[in-house]
C-alpha cells in the first residue's frame, strides 16, 4: 500500500500489527458482519459490527471535523474498547453518501475490510476511509 501523506503513512505500521494480530487470533467476524480496521500513528484495532450506526444529521452538523477526528483517534488509542465511538465518528465523517459508497464497495468483495486512518491534528485533521479485500488463504 502506497500512502503519499506522511500522517497516513505513519498509521501503516500500527495497522499492519493490528491486522496481523487479528488474523492469527481465533476471533472471526460473524457472518454478515463488517470488519473495520482503524489506525492512528500510535495504535490500531480491528473490530466487527453488524451495521453502520444511525446518523443524527442535525447533531453531526454541529460538530467540527477536528473534534470528530480527535474523538475517533482517542477511541482507537484508548485502553478500553470504544468500537461504537469509532463507528459513529467514522459515519459522521463519511456522511450518508460516504457510508453508502463504503457499503457498495464492500458488497463487491469476498472478504472486505473497511480501513479507517486518522491523524488528529487540530490545525489540520486528516482522515481516510477505504475498503480493501483481504486475500483468501
What digits encode the pLDDT tens for the residues 115-134? 999 988 767 788 999 999 98
CA angle centred on 35, ends 85 and 114, rounded to 5°: 80
pTM above 0.85, yes or no: yes
Q: Which of 35, 19, 31, 32 is nearest to 87 (CA)?
A: 35
Contact (Cβ atoms closer than 8 angstroms) between residue 92 and residue 127: no
Residue with cell 470488519: 35
DSSP-assigned letter for residue 126: E
Q: Compute CA 109 distance to the chain's CA centroid, rounded to the nearest angstrom.
A: 17
Write down the pLDDT at residue 92. 94
Q: Give backbone dihedrals phi and psi of 118, rounded to 5 degrees, phi first.
A: -135, 140
How many angstroms from the chain centroid is the CA of residue 64? Answer: 18
pLDDT digits (tens, 9 = 90+) for 23-73: 777 566 777 889 999 999 999 999 989 999 988 877 777 888 888 999 999
Model pLDDT, residue 135: 73
Amino acid at each position: 500500500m502506497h500512502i503519499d501523506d506522511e500522517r497516513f503513512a505513519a498509521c501503516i505500521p500500527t495497522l499492519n500489527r493490528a491486522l496481523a494480530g487479528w488474523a492469527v487470533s481465533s476471533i472471526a467476524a460473524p457472518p454478515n458482519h463488517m470488519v473495520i480496521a482503524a489506525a492512528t500513528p500510535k495504535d490500531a484495532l480491528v473490530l466487527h459490527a453488524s451495521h453502520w450506526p444511525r446518523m443524527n444529521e442535525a447533531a453531526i452538523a454541529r460538530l467540527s471535523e477536528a473534534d470528530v477526528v480527535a474523538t475517533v483517534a482517542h477511541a482507537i488509542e484508548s485502553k478500553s474498547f470504544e468500537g461504537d465511538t469509532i463507528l459513529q465518528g467514522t459515519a459522521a465523517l463519511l456522511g450518508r453518501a460516504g457510508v453508502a459508497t463504503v457499503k457498495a464497495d464492500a458488497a463487491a468483495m469476498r472478504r472486505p475490510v473497511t480501513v479507517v486512518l486518522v491523524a488528529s491534528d487540530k490545525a489540520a485533521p486528516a482522515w481516510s476511509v477505504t475498503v480493501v479485500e483481504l486475500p483468501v488463504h
